[in-house]
Structure 1
Amino acid sequence: MTEDHLRGQDRAPLQPRGCRHTHRYLHRLTAAACSLLACLGLFGSLSAPAEASQSDRGTAVARTAKTTGAAPGLPTLADKAQTDGSQEGEADISLESSTPVVTATSGYSFKVKITNKGRETLSGGNLLASTNALYSFSSRTDMQTWAEGGARIPTPDVFTRQEVGDIAPDQSKEISADLPSDNPGIHAMVAWGPKPVRFAYVDGEGKTKANIYTFLTRTRDGLQTADTPPLSVTMVMPVTTADWAATKDSIKALVNDRGKDEPETGGKQSPANQGGSKNNEAESSSGRQTSTPTHSPSGNSQGEGQAGQGDSGEKKTTAFLTLTPAGANRGRKQEDLLAKHPALQSIMDPSYLHTFTGMPRVNGLMQPADFDITAYAENEPSSYRDAGVDPQAWRAASAGDQYRQTAGKSADVPGAYAWQGRAEWTRTSMAEAKRQGYDTVIAPEGFKAGAGASAHTGKYTVTTSAGEVTVLSAQRELSRLAQGHPTSSLAGGEATGAGRTARFLAQSAFYQMEQPYADRDLMVCFGAGENPALVDQIMSAAEEATWLSLGDLATLSKATPQDDGGQYFQSVLEPGGKEGGSGGREMIPTLHSLATSRKDIDRFGTSILVEGETATPEPSQTRAKSDTQALARQDASSTARRPTNPQPWLDDINRAHDLIALHSLSGVGSAPLLADQARALSDHLLEAIRINPTESITVVSETATMPVTVSNSLPFPVRAKVSSKTNSTEIVTARTADTVIPAHSEVQVTFTIRVATAGQADADISLIDRDGNAFGRSGNTHITSNLRLSDMSGLVIVVVAVLLGLLGLWRQFHRTKDPDE
């Protein structure tokens, strides 16, 4: 349906002269009634819809009449599509790409996808892209209502109209356009700022099937507009990840192969840590997790100085926990982003830094492994120690130590910032951060309270029980868009990255126009797991925005705090409370899981492993078996050189578990899943001692023996009791048998079976530690008894039976018969 055809329908038919006067009054009365109804509808909306000013509306209507030839007050094609919203629901429009910033020479391009959500084929129609070149948003509510499709803002300036063919059910079509800078819709923009943009899909019958509302922002370039100072914005990206993994091979290498070919001094690098890096020496040194405490079997934590000695065990721990393929790919993209956008400020996780191929730019350090300090403040500190995480693991000094291990001992350490976790910052959590050496904390999503206030420098000074803490609070609306969240669920245009980018630029332009001469420095934070493509998209657009000046963390840190900051935190964050919400409570199941796995490792060291000097002297018979098995395996030489002190090996395992625990308690959403790998580590340690029972035994006498083989794949000897219990009272076995299983060997113990009668039974065989607790996997042996009289007692019974039989026959032939018989 063409625009000329619509104009022909809209044009009033000729009437007799006597009726024209009456028609004029009826027309005016009808227009007045429509205006009254429109005002009542707008006034009663949930969020006050943004209306164009009367002068703007009059200008738009006049311009519409001039460009289309329609009489003032009559609907144009764009307005008709906007008033047919009742037909929406059969189709869906999504904005795949668009030009968020328009200059005098850039033009405007877009790509939208139209999807048929109905059950019938959509007939061919048109995609209408339009704007209101003279409209200026007057408030934040004005912009939000437009984004949600509730504003009655006319869009008479048509960018383009694209034909759309038939669309089958559940199918989509992409429509794109690349408009030149002299496009009438762009050329009509005589003032800079955010402009409303609307995409409408109109079918062949002229019914609107779908609408989407978005923005573009016209720069001052080429316009006769007064120049004002740009708005300073600091763009911050946290560089961290939860994509860590401990593979089965790495667990096996750590648990089963430690010390196999190393001298007792531990000076040789583990083969598991060699190769796979362009700078092997740098990777090895960076892997010394100085922030991760080591524990002795008794559970005592060593000091930070001891934890940073850099022995081979710490190097092996680095190879133990590696990035997943997805995490490595994300790291490469993050490194490219920092190289491409110099204004992008990075807050680096120091435990993640050594994974990069080069040395990326670091503007600040966060707590190691992005440890969730806000959750820590809501839970008991003892639960974290039980899980294997000591406060020294995430203190600011440890972050600096880890940074130097990668950048060099003489490198200048950037400032340390405590990054927010799952809950909002409170005075309690800020005090915990302060005690660990963090003078500044970052709130990457801003604060819910007071979010509707005017955009200003998000810097506060808060007094806590541990001293004053500086809070850098991100601008909430801009940061949520940068982190991939739409401003509301009704803002359909922001469902894609292109729509969120367009809204981000439009919103920032409005903030500059709102207070053009105010001295402000807004902080915008990207998300920890944000798609690098969206970060690149927003940064590229922000670099082209002439109304923005991209700042840095150093300048923001020196900015003057807000005067009302103390009052805000005084009213919202009461001293000593835990009013930040229940975000930290989500960590309780993870803490319980980590505490269980950590306890199992400690239990192995105290109740299963052969302790201290007792590991060296072995019974002669056991030692002979061990030597024979070493010869059979052809590793007698390495077995002879194996260290006899198991403590360094056990420390490596403890350190690996605690490293997983630290990353499991990160503020990144998927981090708690890593606790399963800590559980796998402790399970592998206990299950390395295996029972190999006899599949089945047939017993043909009152007593028999049942052999049970116990193997030990660990590099150090262990002591255990083998327990056997049957489910029958007629067929029983001996209860327990003590044994010492040498390293990488197996031993065989025997149980006596006693049978009282023929039958069947199952013997449940399990391992018990020195404290009487079962561990590892149990085994089962099926016992079948076919009792035969084949021993001396059976022979006596047979002889007696024969004698009794002969006696019976003799009496039968020699007895005196009765007279009547």
Structure 2
Amino acid sequence: MGLPQTHANPASGDGVYPAADAHKSASGRNRDQSGIKLTLRSSTAVVSKTSGYTVKVAITNTSDQASGAGTLSVDTNALYTFSSRIDMQDWADGGSHIPTPNHLVSQHVDSIQPGQSLEVTASAAADQEQLAAMNTWGPKPLLLTYSNDKATDSGKPLLGEATTFLTRSSDGLTTAQTPPMSISMLLPLASTGWSLDQDKVKQLMTGQQNNKQSSKSEKESTENHSQQTPSASASNSQSASRCQPTQCTVDSQQDNSQSKNSRAEIATQTQKVVNLSQSAIKQQEHQIQLLEHHNKLNTLADPLYVGYFNSHVRVDAGMQPGAFDMSTYSNQDAAHYNSAGVEDEDWNAQTASHELQDSLGDNTDTKPVYALQGHTSWSLDSLTQARKQGYTTAVAPLGLDADSGTSAHTSKYTVPTDAGEITVLSAQQELSTLAQGEPTSAKAASEQSTAGQVARFMAQSAFYQMEQPYAERALLVCFGNNQDTGAASMLMDAVEAASWLQLDNLDTLAKAQPYAKGDQARELIAQESKNGSDKSKAGSLDGTLDSLTASRKDIERFGTAMLAKPKQTNSSPSASSGKSDAQALARQDATDTARRSDDPREWLQSVTQVHDTLALHALSCADKAGGLADAARTLADQLLNGVQIKPSESVTIVSETAKMPVTLSNSHPYPVAVRVSSKTDSMEIVTTRTAYAVIPANSETQVTFTIRVATAGQADAEIALVDQDGVPFGQTRSTHITSNLRLSDMSGLLIVVLALLFGALGLWRQFTRKKDPDE
């Protein structure tokens, strides 16, 4: 439809005027005079026969003077039809010259002080003349204009305007009805709000966690055994087959992949040491309310995240555990990931399906699992790896840039890889950008708010349907990982009211005919991967992996070079962690000590699994997840710092040799064997270099260093802990040594002997010398 040459102005009563002049009158005012900013707070996203139109606008005075009384005007062009997406984008960016002669409503605005805002609501009833005269459905340009009633002190009026959209549905119109366009709305259920619960970390490090869990298990085992269902028994059998506690090992030389429990089981064993923040828990409550209100909103859930819901949550499909960033992973990184604590089996499709069943508590419900795209675009290599991991479907939440110039089409690609064919569900780019709370461009001022994004979403989707009204298409729209549930609900309300859209589930999209397949799909993926490469993200990933590798090696080192071996504890009776531990009786925790297993490997395996769970979350596709690598570092530090040198008092020496006692403490539930090194900053005052110690569980012990002094003076002895491999760890301590050396020992005896000899010689000379005659 072409533009009309003339338009009536119902507000002015001046008859007709040229289209160009209409724009100048309505939207072509000089923007350099603007002292007002308009922000869309809410609007009627879908206008029907009976809805009318209401808009709420926040008007902000950005000038340095009061605005004075003004007017907010709402205008549209009832006859205009957008001809292209470029046409729509130009209007959204405020650079288009579309006339808006159809005046809907005006609203008086009180004076606004400098820097202040005022919310104004303007409404046009359903029978308003210009609104009722709208006889075609689809997106229409909408102009919001603010002007004050008179010039300010500077002689110029304050102006403000914003361009947005009004979308008329086909309700009540006599135009031909076209089939609605299929659209699947997808909400990922994942979180970045993971952290270490420090109270539970302390319990884990001191062995209290295992004791409480063991006591609880003993109590519940008898009660639940007779009531256990066959499916639960099968689940327990499957879980046990992954890692029996007595078979788990912390020896780094053995295959760690065979010693990993499912992370859902570890979460239970360690009572959720890795926990969700309060804000994340609140987000879960909002997500449940959102899903209850919108039953056609599809969900793609992280199995680990689902396990933390306090009540049942609807899940349509699962994703890789921990929302692991699969699209950034590549084959050459496998060793780096393994050393960081994340192995292929931790995020493959089989593990995802098993853990999703565990989290939902239903081992008979097998839901599909999809591979969710991470920080980088899907490449052929990453899709191949996903296929090797058992995923037959991958999701690209922001769509493919390579084909963004084409018309809206079915969001499905079938890509052949070396590991087999994989389906890629690619979200429609513009609509998903808006759904995730982002404007389509930086210039689109009205789209900086949720209401503006919803208005553009509805207009854009209506345009896509009008563009190809009879084409069978199934579009995918993805919300974000940390989606604002209020914004999602506002958009879902609008989509549910849209006559040109039909909400479908993921299964409908999965069964649709692909938009591209074979070599064509491979070329599109290759082009997307090339356009989406980001070296800065790869560098950040390497840093995260390096940090996780270092912290995990420290945990492994604790198991291999610090935990006391049986022969070491046997040679040191005081280091035994058995039931007769006298220090346990003194601490009044003998019962817990007696219940504790004599094998420390299960306990250290729990610590390792907590670290690896943090590592998996730190490598997720969610934003701001990399900080969890610091939490993993903290966990390793707390393990090493459980063995400490207690501060000692200064030592004063009055002889050539003396003893310097050093007290060592161990807060862990199992004995450790370490060495203690001592080094002074003086050549005249020195100590023995090392001492060996086996420290009992949750106890203290002493080692003694010999001090040798050559002269009076002062020195500081630096005392440090060293593991059995000679690698230092933990904090160092300093002990001040003061020498007040007095003559003693062999040197003193020598002086006494010489004194006696000289005395005897003097007496001898006295009695044997010849006397003078006159004496």
Same fold (TM over 0.5): yes
For the residue of structure 2 that corresponds to 1:163, the secondary structure is strand
In structure 1, runs of 5+ residues without a counterpart are 1-51, 272-280, 812-821
What is the alpha-carbon distance in structure 1 between the residues aligned to residue 650 and residue 508 of structure 2? 77
Q: Corresponding residue for 2:175? A: 225
What is the alpha-carbon distance in structure 1 between the residues aligned to residue 19 and residue 526 of structure 2? 56
1:99-248 → structure 2 map (5 Å cutoff): 99-203=44-148, 204-205=150-151, 207-248=157-198
1:312-711 → structure 2 map (5 Å cutoff): 315-377=268-330, 380-563=333-516, 566-570=519-523, 572-573=525-526, 580-582=533-535, 583-611=537-565, 613-614=566-567, 617-620=570-573, 627-711=581-665
Q: Is the 8 A contact 1:291 1:398 kept in 2?
A: no
What is the alpha-carbon distance in structure 2 between the residues aligned to residue 558 and residue 397 of structure 1? 22
What is the alpha-carbon distance in structure 1 between the residues aligned to residue 608 and residue 357 of structure 2? 24
What is the alpha-carbon distance in structure 2 between the residues aligned to residue 360 and residue 564 of structure 1? 35
Q: Corresponding residue for 1:250? A: 200
What is the alpha-carbon distance in structure 2 between the residues aligned to residue 631 and residue 576 of structure 1? 64
1:758-773 → structure 2 map (5 Å cutoff): 758-773=712-727
Q: Is the 8 A contact 1:292 1:655 kept in 2?
A: no
> 2:707 matched to 1:757?
no
Deviation of 1:65 after TM superposition, in Å, equals: 6.9
> 2:40 matched to 1:90?
no
| 219-228 or 582-591: bigger deviation | 582-591
What is the alpha-carbon distance in structure 2 between the residues aligned to residue 543 and residue 231 of structure 1? 12
Paired residue type of 2:97: R
What is the alpha-carbon distance in structure 2 between the residues aligned to residue 264 and residue 571 of structure 1? 54
Cα deviation, 1:238-297, whole Å, max 9, x if unaligned, reads: 1111211112112111121257747999954899xxxxxxxxx99xx99x9999997632
CA change 1:574–1:137 in 2 (3 A) is closer
Deviation of 1:592 after TM superposition, in Å, equals: 0.7
**TM-score, length of structure 2 as denominator length:** 0.88
In structure 2, runs of 5+ residues without a counterpart are 222-230, 766-775
CA change 1:422–1:725 in 2 (3 A) is same
Cα deviation, 1:504-537, whole Å, max 9, x if unaligned, reads: 0000000011111111111111111111111111
What is the alpha-carbon distance in structure 2 between the residues aligned to residue 327 and residue 127 of structure 1? 40
> 2:251 matched to 1:297?
yes
CA change 1:407–1:82 in 2 (3 A) is closer
Q: Is the 8 A contact 1:375 1:423 kept in 2?
A: yes
Cα deviation, 1:163-215, whole Å, max 9, x if unaligned, reads: 22332222211112233212334223221111111112213327353221111
For the residue of structure 1 that corresponds to 2:673, the secondary structure is strand
For the residue of structure 2 that corresponds to 1:705, the secondary structure is strand
Q: Is the 8 A contact 1:236 1:346 kept in 2?
A: yes
What is the alpha-carbon distance in structure 2 between the residues aligned to residue 442 and residue 457 of structure 1? 13
What is the alpha-carbon distance in structure 2 between the residues aligned to residue 732 and residue 378 of structure 1? 54
What is the alpha-carbon distance in structure 1 between the residues aligned to residue 135 and residue 180 of structure 2? 19
CA change 1:417–1:463 in 2 (3 A) is same
For the residue of structure 2 that corresponds to 1:351, the secondary structure is helix
Q: Is the 8 A contact 1:290 1:308 kept in 2?
A: no
Moved beyond 6 Å, runs of 4+: 74-78, 262-266, 288-294, 574-579, 798-808
**TM-score, length of structure 1 as denominator length:** 0.84
Paired residue type of 1:53: G
Q: Corresponding residue for 1:741? A: 695
For the residue of structure 1 that corresponds to 2:670, the secondary structure is coil
> 2:674 matched to 1:720?
yes
Q: Is the 8 A contact 1:694 1:706 kept in 2?
A: no
What is the alpha-carbon distance in structure 2 between the residues aligned to residue 477 and residue 508 of structure 1? 9
Cα deviation, 1:26-84, whole Å, max 9, x if unaligned, reads: xxxxxxxxxxxxxxxxxxxxxxxxxx9342x42x2xx1278522563499898435232
CA change 1:796–1:342 in 2 (3 A) is same
CA change 1:266–1:303 in 2 (3 A) is farther
Cα deviation, 1:127-162, whole Å, max 9, x if unaligned, reads: 222211221111111110000000111222222222
What is the alpha-carbon distance in structure 2 between the residues aligned to residue 239 and residue 545 of structure 1? 25
Tell me the number of residue pairs that the alignment of Structure 1 and Structure 2 aligns: 741
Paired residue type of 1:69: D
Q: Is the 8 A contact 1:460 1:566 kept in 2?
A: no
CA change 1:588–1:302 in 2 (3 A) is closer
Q: Is the 8 A contact 2:568 2:673 kept in 1?
A: no
Deviation of 1:123 after TM superposition, in Å, equals: 3.1
737, 746, 770: which one aligns with 1:783: 737
What is the alpha-carbon distance in structure 2 between the residues aligned to residue 66 and residue 768 of structure 1? 87
What is the alpha-carbon distance in structure 2 between the residues aligned to residue 117 and residue 270 of structure 1? 66
For the residue of structure 1 that corresponds to 2:303, the secondary structure is coil
Q: Is the 8 A contact 2:432 2:479 kept in 1?
A: yes
Cα deviation, 1:798-820, whole Å, max 9, x if unaligned, reads: 89689989999xx9xxxxxxxxx
